[in-house]
């Protein structure tokens, strides 16, 4: 009997760099009966390319969370051709105004927006006074905060790698270890901005860290207490998660060799 030969057509993979305002979405990832960024991008790509496309994101963002630098990838058959700049232009005309495609480029066949990321940077914004133009981008807080003490507590994060205390419970990750390389508060006359960078983040991690640091700033927790929260590896010991609308994913970094060599 002769052997049956199945020919599988090779795929080409592309990265999409996009930005979105999360106010009108229930986060990135598709979910039933809710509007999500992934759903909108899938719909736009499938329509413009006239084939079923499912994008894979570099991670999840929760309801209301924004991203000025988010990456996703998708695949098409090797024989399918299109111009990346023209595709980005068409997608931007199709997508709602709160989602913008910034760049599309071909990458190696095994490049992955989530697993190949080497660093992510988030920013959390707090406004000290009522400002109608910051309603969807800042958390308004009335309390006077000791920013110097909050920065002292933030430095303690560099001493640890297990951040179970700041992770959403019952997630499917294999490890709660992360390496934080930057964590600092900057204060202006009417705004507080927290920037944090790490190789990876756990679900809800940044919002839980900010909430706990705010407790330090309000004098409800001292530096020793902050350290104990981390060492306890117990989410219930940390502060409450701050609202999602003040959180932005602002930068995601990859190795330099992910782009396809033949383009």
Q: Look at residue 9 in the predicted model and tell me its pLDDT.
A: 59
Query: Whose structure tokens read 């760099």?
Result: 17
Flag whether pLDDT at 164 surpasses 90: yes
For residues 115-135, give the mean pLDDT. 96
Name which of 93, 106, 81 is nearest 15 in CA terms. 106
- Has 222 been annotated as catalytic? no
- The pLDDT-based confidence of 262 (bands split at 50, 70, 90) is low
Calculate what percentage of the chain has a pLDDT beyond 90.
87
For residues 161-182, give the mean pLDDT. 88
Q: Residue 113 and residue 117: Cα distance in Å, rounded?
A: 6
Q: Determine contact, residues 248/67, Cβ cutoff 8 Å.
A: yes
Q: Look at residue 174 in the predicted model and tell me its pLDDT.
A: 82
pLDDT tens by residue, 4-63: 544 455 789 999 999 999 999 999 999 988 999 999 999 999 999 999 999 999 998 999
With H, G, I as helix, E, B as strand and everything else as coil, classify residue 156.
helix
Q: Model pTM?
A: 0.92
Using H for helix, E for strand and C for coil, what is the string for 45-102? Answer: HHHHHCCCCCCEECCCCCCCCEEEEEEEEEEEECCCCCCHHHHHHHHHHHCCCCEEEE
Average pLDDT, the chain: 93
Catalytic option among 62, 69, 98, 262: 62
pLDDT tens by residue, 88-102: 999 999 999 999 999
pLDDT tens by residue, 189-240: 899 999 999 999 999 999 999 999 999 999 999 999 999 999 999 999 999 9
Name which of 218, 212, 216 is nearest 141 in CA terms. 218
Q: Look at residue 7 in the predicted model and tell me its pLDDT.
A: 47
């Amino acid at each position: 009997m002769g052997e049956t030969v199945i020919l599988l057509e090779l795929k080409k993979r592309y990265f999409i760099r996009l930005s979105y305002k999360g106010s009108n979405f229930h986060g990135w990832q598709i979910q039933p009966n809710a509007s999500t960024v992934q759903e909108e991008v899938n719909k736009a790509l499938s329509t413009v390319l006239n084939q079923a496309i499912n994008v894979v994101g570099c991670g999840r963002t929760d309801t209301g969370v924004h991203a000025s630098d988010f990456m996703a990838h998708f695949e098409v058959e090797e024989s399918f051709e299109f111009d990346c700049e023209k595709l980005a232009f068409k997608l931007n005309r199709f997508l709602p105004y709160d989602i913008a495609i910034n760049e599309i480029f071909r990458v190696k066949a095994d490049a992955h927006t989530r697993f190949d990321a080497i660093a992510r940077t988030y920013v959390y914004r707090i406004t000290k006074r009522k400002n109608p133009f910051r309603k969807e981008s800042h958390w308004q807080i009335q309390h006077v905060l000791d920013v110097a003490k909050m920065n002292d507590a933030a430095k303690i994060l560099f001493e640890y790698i297990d951040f179970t205390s700041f992770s959403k419970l019952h997630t499917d990750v294999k490890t709660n270890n992360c390496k934080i390389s930057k964590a600092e508060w900057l204060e202006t006359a009417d705004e507080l901005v927290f920037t944090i960078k790490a190789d990876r983040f756990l679900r809800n991690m940044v919002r839980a860290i900010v909430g706990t640091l705010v407790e330090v700033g309000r004098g409800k927790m001292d530096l020793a207490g902050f350290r104990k929260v981390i060492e306890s590896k117990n989410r219930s010991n940390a502060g409450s998660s701050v609202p999602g609308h003040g959180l932005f994913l602002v930068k995601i970094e990859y190795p330099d060799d992910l782009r396809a060599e033949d383009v």
